[in-house]
Amino acid sequence: MTNSTLSSPHPDPEPLSPLLLEVEKLAVRYPLPGGFLGRSRRFVEPVKGVSFRIRAGQTVGLVGESGSGKTTIGKAIVRLISPHSGEIRYRQERIDTLSGARLRPYRKRVQMIFQDPHNSLNPRLTIARIVGEPLEIHFPALRAQERRDRAAQLLARVGLPADSLDRFPHEFSGGQRQRIGIARALAVEPELIVCDEPVSALDVSVQAQIVNLLQDLQQELGLAYLFISHDLAVVEHMSDLVLVLNEGRIVEEAPPEELYRNPQNEYTRKLLAAVPSL
Amino acid sequence: MNPVLRKRSSLWQQLLARPPGVLALGLLGFLYLCALFAPFLAPYGPGDQDLQRTYHPPTGLTWTQEGLAVRLYENADPTQALYRPIPGKTAAIQWFPGGHSYRLFGLLPCRRHLFGVEPPHKVYLLGSDSTGRDVFSRLLYGAQVSLSIGLIGISISLGVGLIAGGLAGYFGGWFDSLVMRTTELLMAIPGLYLLLALRGAFASQFGSGEVYLLIVVILSFLGWSGAARVIRGLALSLRAQTFVEAAIVTGLSPWRILWRHLLPNLASYLLVAAALSIPGYILGEAALSFLGIGIQEPSASWGLMLAQAQEMKVFMCNFWWLLTPGAAVFVTVAAFNLLGDTLRDVIDPHFRTGSR
């Protein structure tokens, strides 16, 4: 199913842009508690064999209701979770088998923006430290002052004042914190950003600002996004290709116009019908 | 946006804005300064005996033409250690007299003391004990042992607890199980018996320095388990926070995550835990010394001085001044608890992970 859709003329805005991420038959399992000596024989499988691809500069939307496995897929891609089976390849290199320091080159290319802006920033660190930390890891040649300057540039790029550097996360609003999270993700100069419900926790007016910021950054830096959301309107606005996820499986895969005009799958139709219209 | 939270230094400011905090800090500061300058403040050494003046009551102070002076006493009834002031006879207090030599902070050789009287006479601000040693001087020297043991003990046990609990909570798995079962084992045995057994295992004669170290090690060995359990729980909950996931995605090594992201968030808890646990060490040392298996004579510690006070004679003849080390322990323990409670009040409303 995957290949046929991807090879169709619709999904890619620039069909020749290089393939970044290939996810093939990805499955994630968690053991259920119980069993003898912690050896559980029962599992939940939030993701059951999912395959898709992301090309450079492309935005792939991932929609589904709560519990459909969206976030789990995102976390597996950034390797916060190890997949149970299947393959994840990045620029033809398998990354689902790497661990520890060998993941580091990959971490420089793929970053994540988190849903909850209140928890995703360490309350005890200043913004300069938070944004400077990825620079420390991935650009070790930079000196402290250079890191600080770069952090200030990044903050300016996401629309935060320069005096934010020495402040702490609690001094910012939700939207501002999300901007800090974006600046942190941008610091490593990634190619792909996994956006895990980046606007779901924000006010509607702020949502639009963040979505526009993400789009501007994509234009400017040629970023690819995996945009995870339950908000169909936002996904439609953002994505070049939409994957509809239900109970850990991709049930439909289409460019947004097509999907919204002519949903093929029963579940997609239900999901679309559930969108409150104003 | 809470302005009180703006800077980390505001912890001090907040503490100093609360009367109990000021009181506790002031008391503790005073006590530790006394301990630090004990050889200078004390007119006599901790082991200076005077068998002619056993169980001497605190000497009265009067004002004469020569300035401040102490009354002189005659021994009215040696069998009951009954001393009577001799009317009109006094000895002037000398300021900064020379005396026995000592090293201030263990370094600077010194002979001067804060005060004293002309040698055949003696000044006993808090009376003398069964061998005529000055209780006031011994109280000061004892403070060095009793007050430092808490600080050293808590640093060791919180250090061990932080490493064991932090790693257990962060990594989980078999290490977690190992650490947690060990702490349960330690906590399942009543503390005092374990303390006695451990001390008994090293029963042979030690010098007082070695005994001091031994007590610290034993107390820390017992003390780390509680801290480790709480720190493990905190690490476990912090680990699930998104900012730790963000740090992993950034590519930080586990050690760096522990050091930079978990430790600062544990700091408020550690501070409160330290302040509230130090009394346990002070009391533990006092208990061991009281039972005769802690600090040995002729060194001084508050527990050891209290052990002397358990003689029947002390109660029969009302030698109340021998109980002053108890008052010192009480004041210290109360001040640390007050400090801990105030710190918790300051920290808790904002950082709920710091609660116990």
Using the predicted structure, report yes or no on whether residue B349 has a pLDDT greater than 80. no
Least CB–CB distance from B5: residue in A101, A114, A170: A170
Interface contact A125-B251, CB threshold 8 A: no
Q: How far apart are CA B45 and CA A38, in angstroms?
A: 62
- Is the distance from CB of B126 to CB of B109 less than 8 angstroms? no
What value does the CA radius of gyration of chain B take, rounded to a whole number of Å? 25
For B59-79, the pLDDT digits (tens) are 878 888 777 888 888 777 777
Interface contact B251-A108, CB threshold 8 A: yes
Residue A14's pLDDT is what? Answer: 54
For B251-269, the pLDDT digits (tens) are 888 888 888 888 888 887 8
Q: How far apart are CA B347 and CA B356, in angstroms?
A: 12
Output the six-digit token pair for B87: 């009317």
Say which residue the tokens 């897929």 belong to: A73
Mutation site, B243, B261, B347, interface A, largest A CB count within 10 A: B243
| Cβ neighbours of residue B126 closer than 8 Å, sequence gap 6 or more | B58, B134, B135, B136, B139, B321, B324
Show the DSSP H helices in A78-126 as ranges.
Answer: 104-109
| B286 half-sphere exposure, CB direction, 13 A CA radius | 25
Q: What is chain B's mean pLDDT, rounded?
A: 81
Least CB–CB distance from B243: residue in A107, A119, A137: A119
CA distances from residue B88 to A127, B63, B125 in whole angstroms, order as listed: 74, 11, 19
Q: Chain A closest CA to B237's CA: distance in Å?
A: 12
Q: Chain B closest CA to A111's CA: distance in Å?
A: 7
Type and span of the H or E element at B84 = strand B82-92
Residue B353's pLDDT is what? Answer: 39
Between B99 and A104, name the one with better pLDDT. Answer: A104
Q: How far apart are CA B104 and CA B144, in angstroms?
A: 12
- What's the distance, CA A163 to chain centroid? 28
Interface of B with A in 249-268 (CB under 8 A): 249-253, 260-261, 264-265, 267
Q: What is the ipTM of this complex?
A: 0.85
Interface contact A80-B1, CB threshold 8 A: no
Least CB–CB distance from A121: residue in B6, B243, B248: B243
Correct CATH for B3-37+138-351 of 1.10.3720.10, 3.10.28.10, 2.60.120.10, 2.130.10.10: 1.10.3720.10
Residue A34's pLDDT is what? Answer: 65
Chain A residue with minimum CA distance to B240: A119
Least CB–CB distance from A120: residue in B6, B246, B260: B246
List chain A residues with pLDDT less than 70.
1-16, 34-40, 276-278
- Tell me the whole-structure pTM to 2 decimals: 0.73
Question: Does B246 contact A at CB distance below 8 Å?
Answer: yes
Pairing of strands B67-77, B82-92: antiparallel
Helix axes B242-250, A127-138, angle to 10 degrees: 30
| A263 half-sphere exposure, CB direction, 13 A CA radius | 16
Q: What is the DSSP letter of A185?
A: H
Sign of CA dihedral A131, A134, A136, A142: negative
Using the predicted structure, report yes or no on whether residue B154 has a pLDDT greater than 80. yes
- Is the distance from CB of A21 to CB of A53 less than 8 angstroms? yes
Q: How far apart are CA B72 and CA B66, in angstroms?
A: 15
- Is the distance from CB of B111 to CB of B101 less than 8 angstroms? yes
Correct CATH for A14-273 of 3.40.630.10, 3.40.1190.20, 3.30.360.10, 3.40.50.300: 3.40.50.300
Residue A60's pLDDT is what? Answer: 94
Output the six-digit token pair for B210: 């070695």
Q: Chain B closest CA to A153's CA: distance in Å?
A: 19
Q: Chain B closest CA to A104's CA: distance in Å?
A: 6
- Is the distance from CB of A248 to CB of A68 less than 8 angstroms? yes
For B290-346, the pLDDT digits (tens) are 887 777 777 888 888 888 887 777 777 777 888 888 889 899 999 998 888 888 887
Q: Chain A closest CA to B13's CA: distance in Å?
A: 18
Using the predicted structure, report yes or no on whether residue B348 has a pLDDT greater than 80. no
Pairing of strands A19-31, A85-90: antiparallel
Interface contact B246-A181, CB threshold 8 A: yes
Question: Does B4 contact A at CB distance below 8 Å?
Answer: no
Residue B48's pLDDT is what? Answer: 82
Interface contact A78-B249, CB threshold 8 A: yes
Least CB–CB distance from A122: residue in B5, B6, B261: B261
Output the six-digit token pair for A27: 């499955």
Output the six-digit token pair for B205: 């004669």
Least CB–CB distance from A107: residue in B2, B251, B351: B251
CB-CB neighbors (< 8 A) of A168 in chain B: 5-6
CB-CB neighbors (< 8 A) of A123 in chain B: 243, 265, 351
Q: DSSP for A228-255?
A: EES-HHHHHHH-SEEEEEETTEEEEEE-
Q: Chain B closest CA to A44's CA: distance in Å?
A: 19
Q: How confident is the model at residue B1 (pLDDT cuts 50, 70, 90)?
A: very low
Question: Does B240 contact A at CB distance below 8 Å?
Answer: no
Mutation site, A75, A114, A124, A163, interface B, largest B CB count within 10 A: A124
Using the predicted structure, report yes or no on whether residue B3 has a pLDDT greater than 70. no
Chain A residue with minimum CA distance to B246: A120
For B19-49, the pLDDT digits (tens) are 888 999 999 999 999 988 888 888 888 888 8
What share of chain B in percent tops pLDDT 70? 93
Domain extent listing, chain A: 14-273
Q: How confident is the model at residue B5 (pLDDT cuts 50, 70, 90)?
A: very low
For B106-118, the pLDDT digits (tens) are 777 888 888 888 7
Question: Does B241 contact A at CB distance below 8 Å?
Answer: yes
Q: Chain A closest CA to B167's CA: distance in Å?
A: 17
Burial of A273 (0-12, 13-18, 19+ CB in 10 A): exposed
CA distances from residue A44 to A32, A67, A69 in whole angstroms, order as listed: 7, 12, 11
